[in-house]
Chains A and B, each alone.
Chain A
Amino acid sequence: MHHDYFLPWHQRTLIWQFVRREVLTRYRGSLLGLGWAFLTPLLMLSVYTFVFRGIFNARWSGGATGDFEFALQVYAGLIVFSLFAEVTTRAPRLVLDEPNLVKKVVFPLEILPWVAVLAGLIHLALNLAALLAAAAIARGGLSLSVLALPLVLAPFVPLLLALGWFLGALGVFVRDMQQVTALLVSLLMFLSPVFYPVSSLPSRWQPWLEANPLTPVIEQLRRVALDGLWPAWPQLALHLAIASALAWAAARWFAATRKGFADVL
């Protein structure tokens, strides 16, 4: 079972077909096409920067000053958050939306979270490229530490897969999961260090924020992409271990409940 779930290499053709379809459906037929992948975060970023800097007069603690610098820090957080938000809001419908694949054909349903995560990662890669380009222009160059970006994102993948398997299976039986995840996502936007660094919080709140699984990803991403530092290795290893354990548990849950899918779809 484990290699069907964690290394679905033999399903690569199928996964690729689905990822392609996923990415293309989003932009096919729209006038701007792939332009939306950049335009949406850019517009959101301008509004956030205007609200937080222009109205609330927020400052990025830790030395970074200026509107552009603030925007870069928020962009780094938003990139991570929007992938999380996308996977989490879609997860309860992953299986629910494909009754034909559950009932009419023999289909490896466990790859559906992979499809959602890989499609999201393509999106993330585009935005990451935009972030690095902006950072390079603002600073006149990039630090070598950007090479560690794939490592920093590595624990994020099992975490998202875990959400996909857990919510994907639960959503089939409990139809109100979509409302729950939508609410959770909008709360987490402000409970994650997207618009502020963890260090700006009073120290008694900081441990609580560290419990948020998005915190280490966002903080590490800023570290390697914007601050020119290498990742905090022990924290990265711990995070990877926790995320993998969650993914393993979620895969077990999915495998145990999937025989009931066909009965209720």
Chain B
Amino acid sequence: MFSSPATPAIRAEALSKCYHLYERPTDRLRQLLWGRRHCYYREFWALREANFEVAHGEVLGIVGRNGAGKSTLLQLVCGTLTPSGGTIAVNGRVAALLELGAGFNQEFSGRENVFLAASILGLSTAEIKARFEHIVDFSGIREFIDQPVKTYSSGMYVRLAFSVATNVDPDVLLIDEALSVGDGEFARKSFDRIMEFKKAGKTILFCSHSLYQVEAICSRALWLDHGQIRAQGGAAEVVRAYNDYLTAVAPPDREGNSTAAAPPEAEATRIDEEMKVEPARGVARLTGIKVTVDGHSGHSLEAVSGKSEVSIDVAFISDPSLPCPSVAAGFMWQDTRVVCSASTHWDRVPIERAPDGSGEVGLVFPRLPLLKGSYWVAVYLFCENGIHVYDCTNVAAEVKVSQTNLEQGIVSLPHAWKR
């Protein structure tokens, strides 16, 4: 990169994308040939007049509802779509973690696909050879590298694709939805890789429904709504404005978490009893959650507002070679909107961990301030920085809160009347 720091990594001016919807493929050809006289399509504006700049080393979060134009924006930046209006200028090599493995050929071995995908990204044979060992090491699928990729599991496929995409030494990284790919150890590894990019001062565009993660890793954010930029600025402000908007629109319409409104029984990750688990490399797991209300524990509990004591005891196992994970727990409405939460990371509470990597921590809500309603207890196991999710359960228990008075609202805050 020889461009001076003054030139932005990405600059979009009046950037627009209009999709032309054609009934038949031949209509597209007619449009190309006789487009001046007739119109053979319907228009759909996915992005309208977007102006923004991303400085080198900046991490920009993009939020918005499904269909707001987030993916279109990322595709315009990486060049798979051409703008219908305006300009987009990108300085440096772009690695897109959008469609991992899209350039792969099913019939060919992992080795051949590494060469194919890397040459599509613009590397010469010599450059690919120099990086090949590193790519294979990172993917962790060395024993399968000479098998055709059609025999790969989807996890192996995505590992190899991620490894190629992030080993081409990109200047700009585009991430759609997930900060980590694959599962278990690789999820942690890929997350660390992206954090390394952030630390190394690479420019990152991060598009996600996880507002928490946007707020945690992005310096600035941009909110797209129906193809137009509603707001841009500091990540915290934009996320708050977007969150207010989401709360104002009908709650069932809320998109993002697919587990919304699932009944407690459907929750797959519910953990019943203490399980004896060996710590796996690079990961951490919840091994036991006990929710207790006034001495009774279970999955379906009743509590009295302002009187009951709710305690959440969490046990986990983790890779002892990694820093100790952090735990967060809280109450959720059944549309998965978080009512309140607490985290050991943000409260700066150190967790005692045994040498084998297991640990326990408890959270107590004395004189439960929630007002009447039905709440889910959610528990998250995060990395030491409180960003990467190792494990989670949204429905550790359901707590039905009853009230002895008619006080209105969600929560009864500590308060005092002055006379």
The chain A residue with its CB closest to the CB of B125 is: A13
Q: Which of B219-252 contact A (CB under 8 A)?
A: none
In contact, B80 and A173 (Cβ under 8 angstroms): no
The chain B residue with its CB closest to the CB of A104 is: B102
In contact, B32 and A21 (Cβ under 8 angstroms): no
Q: Which of A99-120 contact B (CB under 8 A)?
A: 100-101, 103-107
A-binding residues in B (CB < 8 A): 19-20, 22, 25-26, 28-29, 31-32, 78-82, 98-99, 102-103, 105, 107-108, 112, 115-116, 119-120, 123-125, 128
Nearest chain A CB to B128 CB, angstrom units: 8
Known contacts A104-B80, A106-B80: A263-B20 contact under CB 8 Å? yes
The chain A residue with its CB closest to the CB of B41 is: A263
Known contacts A174-B25, A263-B20: A13-B103 contact under CB 8 Å? no
In contact, B32 and A257 (Cβ under 8 angstroms): yes
Contact of B99 among A18, A104, A173, A262 (CB under 8 A): A104
The chain B residue with its CB closest to the CB of A171 is: B25
B-binding residues in A (CB < 8 A): 13-14, 16-18, 20-21, 25, 28, 100-101, 103-107, 170, 172-175, 256-257, 259-260, 262-264
In contact, B26 and A17 (Cβ under 8 angstroms): no
Across the interface, which residues of A come within 8 angstroms of B128, CB to CB? 13
Nearest chain B CB to A127 CB, angstrom units: 25
In contact, B22 and A259 (Cβ under 8 angstroms): no
Across the interface, which residues of A come within 8 angstroms of B82, CB to CB? 259
In contact, B31 and A260 (Cβ under 8 angstroms): yes
Separation of A264 and B119 alpha carbons in the complex (Å): 26
Nearest chain A CB to B79 CB, angstrom units: 4
In contact, A25 and B28 (Cβ under 8 angstroms): no
In contact, B102 and A107 (Cβ under 8 angstroms): no
In contact, B80 and A174 (Cβ under 8 angstroms): no
Across the interface, which residues of B come within 8 angstroms of A259, CB to CB? 82
Tally of A-B residue pairs with Cβ under 8 A? 69
Known contacts A174-B25, A174-B26: A105-B108 contact under CB 8 Å? no
Separation of A260 and B78 alpha carbons in the complex (Å): 18
Separation of A20 and B124 alpha carbons in the complex (Å): 16
In contact, B22 and A105 (Cβ under 8 angstroms): no
In contact, B119 and A172 (Cβ under 8 angstroms): no
Nearest chain B CB to A51 CB, angstrom units: 37
In contact, B103 and A100 (Cβ under 8 angstroms): yes
Nearest chain B CB to A218 CB, angstrom units: 33
Nearest chain B CB to A48 CB, angstrom units: 33
Known A257-B29, A263-B22; further 15 A-B contacts with Cβ < 8 A:
A13-B125, A14-B120, A16-B125, A17-B115, A21-B105, A105-B99, A105-B103, A106-B79, A106-B120, A170-B29, A173-B28, A173-B29, A175-B25, A257-B32, A262-B81
* 7 A-B pairs (CB sep. < 8 Å): A17-B112, A104-B80, A105-B103, A106-B78, A106-B79, A262-B81, A263-B22
The chain A residue with its CB closest to the CB of B115 is: A17
In contact, B102 and A100 (Cβ under 8 angstroms): yes
Across the interface, which residues of B come within 8 angstroms of A28, CB to CB? 107
Contact of B103 among A101, A256, A257 (CB under 8 A): A101
Separation of A249 and B122 alpha carbons in the complex (Å): 28
Separation of A262 and B19 alpha carbons in the complex (Å): 10
Nearest chain A CB to B151 CB, angstrom units: 13
Nearest chain A CB to B173 CB, angstrom units: 15
